[in-house]
Structure 1
Amino acid sequence: MTEPTTPTALAKARRRDVNHRQQRVHQALADMTADGSEITISAVAAQARLHRSFIHRHSDLHAAVLDAASRALTAPSPASTAISHRSVLAENANLRAQNHRQAQHIRDLEDRLSDLIGQQAFERGGLGAPTNAAALQAEIDKQRQTVLDLTRALEERDEELAAARETNRRLMAELNRIPGATSPLAGAILTGVNTLSTRTLGHLITAAGNSYLSKSDLRDLLMQSGLYEAAELDPTELIDHGTSGPNRQETLRTPLLAAHEQARTGNREAHDALLEIVRLGAERVARRGYAESTLSALHESLLSDGYELRVGDPDLHGNRECRLLPIDPDAVPVGTEITALEAELDQRGYTEALVHYRSAVDNFTDQDHPASNRQLRNMVESLVKHLAVDHTGYTDNGRSGQGGAAINTLYTPGGRPPAVVGQPLPENDGGRMLHGIWNILHSNGPHPGLSNADEARIRMQLCTALARFLLKHFPARP
């Protein structure tokens, strides 16, 4: 368990991590240039084992990738030419093999068609045997039994899902009881995940612009929220001097970004002011009758930040009260700082699980929820595989898809409480929960449209708490 760190230590750790990722990008560029591989941002990101958004966020890396790609086109390396020639030969061989398979397939279809036509003519001519009613009835009975089996399996799956949801609360309580695990809000020090994202602030600016709020309305919002005082800005900027000045969007954008930077560095008042201006802005937009059409993007983005925007029914004067409610009592560890889970995975040497978890965090921060779910599932699979190898004698065969087999060694079917640290979990004291969560991770995963911000956030909580629970129950070997 790591000791609580200061913002300065977190910043240094973050800088070391960023420098290490930049070095991997430059090394990947050098390797791909040497072997003549095609250079794109996605290919370089995959070679460097990080998300492509990291390259987009750093202009120097982005420029370096584009420059290397341009040089590869104007002056291709000998390795690139050799690879292209081998690719042509391989493609030629593949096409010939495909033609051979297609020809064989056509012959097989012709034979089958001939048999079917002959059989049909045989039956219509009255030469075939009558249909066997007993065989048809047996097939119907078989299908009915299959339906019953599937129904029972579905009921068992529903029971496992209910058990997993029930134990989620116990997991979070267990996590909160771990010594040294303090709330990220302790001491009014915030990290990037605790304050609103720039994406959310951008949606607020767009909603205000689409609702035709005047500059005077926007200045009123800035004053009512206390944002200028909290971010230590000059309030005289809010005075209308009769000149053109910044447009409506910039009237909001400049102070919002200043307050956002203050909140990220630990200014609790700036964070509260950001929440208040979002709430007040939503009320102004709702008052003008644009709630459903204009606030939908803002509502979804707030869910990713950990807040739910609730718009009340209009009163007699058409006003609608808006409330901004935190989804969880404690912030989910989905920031880019080094979390306790990341530190434990790194200390144990579980690099593969650590990489998947960090990728899930990056995807969640970028609001790529399906990709975040996929990386979380990969993290859990890698973690249970390594724990099974370290504690149960499980043998890693080097293939993917070992999660289910590894989990089967980490719990005892039919086992009763209490669980013994370092030993397989009893089925009724953690084992069923582990198995149920693993099954949940295979639904609404890496498929666009099947996961929203709220559902992805719950998965992030669930997997983080499960990983902490497993690492505590299966401690590191001396």
Structure 2
Amino acid sequence: MRVPEFHTFTLAAAIEVLEREYDTHDRLDTLIFGWGCLDYIGGSTIKRKLLELARVAEKLHVTARTASGDVPLQRAIVEEAVKVPEYHRYDPAWLKLTAGLRFDGFEIVSDRVPDPSGRQSIFDNGPREIKVAVLRRMLPDDLPGLDFREAESEVDNLLLKHKLTVAAGHLNQATSAFQRGDWAASNAQLRTFYQDLLDRIAVKLGCDESEPDFKKRDYLASEGSGPFLLAHYNEWENDRGKPAFVLGLWARLHPEGSHPGLSEEDDCTFRLQVTLITARLFLRRLDQRISAQ
């Protein structure tokens, strides 16, 4: 069964954003009626109606008629929230929405479209254009292994299966910090998660627990562990002098100094995504090694 496009965290944040924008029952009811969902919705308050709308989107998997055609109600809700005026984008709910969308594999970009009113441009006699916010996938949606929520779920399950509780705790704190927009805290927990994961894997494969961290990583590339890290994939140092992925990622998670002009959110998103995909690869390999014993 395919994972829904948007996590419940993202959907809840979208509902919070819409609660600020749709401040009368008439406006909200018109929106819901246009989506063909009015018969599903009850409640005496705007917030209750929006929560009912989210419940219908998640549980009943209905579609909504929008200007873009028929789309899942979840997407209609999120796309409507993304279109709110600029003054709503200083609200904490907007920060949660953008963080949730990043984790779902989407970003918000500006696009220019013809003015729905049909007004003409005063500059070139063509149709007037307006700027709107739209969703864009960060990565192709038809390539296997790139859904980061699926990656997180599999990583969580494998951490639990192999009793890597400390690493699991650091990952949970990293994703929680990411969702509330605390980029520095998320980055710090990701570094610690990556380090503890490699250390625990080394111990599970026979390394002495008292060895320092760098010795544990060396052990993962030695015959004693299989080796677990593969030189021919350039995961570890080899006699050809090529860069090593494991240490390269370690360095990328531990940059020094400031980086003017780089978005903290973009950087944190990248770190979270690449760490999840890497952790999934190594945990799958650990699982296969232990299962074969």
- Interval of TM-score (by shorter of Structure 1 and Structure 2): 0.5 to 0.7
Does the Cα contact within 8 Å between 1:388 and 1:409 map onto a contact in 2? yes
* Secondary structure, counterpart of 1:312 in structure 2: strand
TM-score norm. by structure 2 comes to 0.66
**1:207 and 1:459, CA in 2 relative to 1: closer, same or farther beyond 3 A?**
farther
Task: Give the distance between the partners of 1:421 and 1:301, measured in 2 at CA.
Answer: 43
Note the C-alpha offset of 1:436: 1.0
Does the Cα contact within 8 Å between 1:225 and 1:277 map onto a contact in 2? no
Note the C-alpha offset of 1:365: 3.7
Note the C-alpha offset of 1:265: 4.0
Give per-residue Cα distances to partners, 1:73-99, cap 9 Å, x unaligned. Answer: xxxxxxxxxxxxxxxxxxxxxxxxxxx
Task: Give the distance between the partners of 1:355 and 1:266, measured in 2 at CA.
Answer: 33
Aligned to 1:272: 72
* Secondary structure, counterpart of 1:196 in structure 2: helix
Q: 1:374 aligns with which of 181, 188, 192?
A: 188
* AA partner of residue 254 (structure 1): R
Does the Cα contact within 8 Å between 2:221 and 2:227 map onto a contact in 1? no
Task: Give the distance between the partners of 2:30 and 2:110, measured in 1 at CA.
Answer: 21
Aligned to 2:230: 425
Aligned to 1:260: 54
* Secondary structure, counterpart of 1:259 in structure 2: helix
Task: Give the distance between the partners of 2:176 and 2:281, measured in 1 at CA.
Answer: 23
**1:309 and 1:406, CA in 2 relative to 1: closer, same or farther beyond 3 A?**
same
Note the residue ranges of structure 1 that are not aligned, 5 or more in a row.
1-184, 238-245, 413-419
Task: Give the distance between the partners of 1:353 and 1:361, measured in 2 at CA.
Answer: 13
* AA partner of residue 267 (structure 2): E
Does the Cα contact within 8 Å between 2:17 and 2:94 map onto a contact in 1? no
Note the C-alpha offset of 1:385: 0.7
* AA partner of residue 75 (structure 2): L
Task: Give the distance between the partners of 1:380 and 1:403, measured in 2 at CA.
Answer: 12
Task: Give the distance between the partners of 2:204 and 2:74, measured in 1 at CA.
Answer: 47
* Corresponding residue pairs, total: 249
Task: Give the distance between the partners of 1:385 and 1:434, measured in 2 at CA.
Answer: 13
Give per-residue Cα distances to partners, 1:174-217, cap 9 Å, x unaligned. Answer: xxxxxxxxxxx62xx649726734233212332455xxxx6544
Does the Cα contact within 8 Å between 1:391 and 1:422 map onto a contact in 2? no
Aligned to 1:309: 108
Aligned to 2:158: 344
Structure with greater strand percent: 2
* Secondary structure, counterpart of 1:313 in structure 2: strand
* AA partner of residue 56 (structure 2): Q
* Secondary structure, counterpart of 1:267 in structure 2: coil
TM-score norm. by structure 1 comes to 0.43
**1:221 and 1:311, CA in 2 relative to 1: closer, same or farther beyond 3 A?**
farther
* Secondary structure, counterpart of 2:149 in structure 1: coil
Structure with greater helix percent: 1
Matched, 1:456 2:268: yes
Aligned to 1:221: 31
Aligned to 2:277: 465
Following TM superposition, where does structure 1 have runs of at least 4 consecutive aligned residues deviating by more than 6 angstroms?
none
Note the C-alpha offset of 1:442: 1.7
Matched, 1:441 2:253: yes
Task: Give the distance between the partners of 2:270 and 2:62, measured in 1 at CA.
Answer: 25
**1:266 and 1:462, CA in 2 relative to 1: closer, same or farther beyond 3 A?**
farther
Note the C-alpha offset of 1:353: 1.3
**1:275 and 1:365, CA in 2 relative to 1: closer, same or farther beyond 3 A?**
same
* AA partner of residue 310 (structure 1): V
* Secondary structure, counterpart of 1:396 in structure 2: coil
* Secondary structure, counterpart of 2:135 in structure 1: strand
* AA partner of residue 98 (structure 2): L
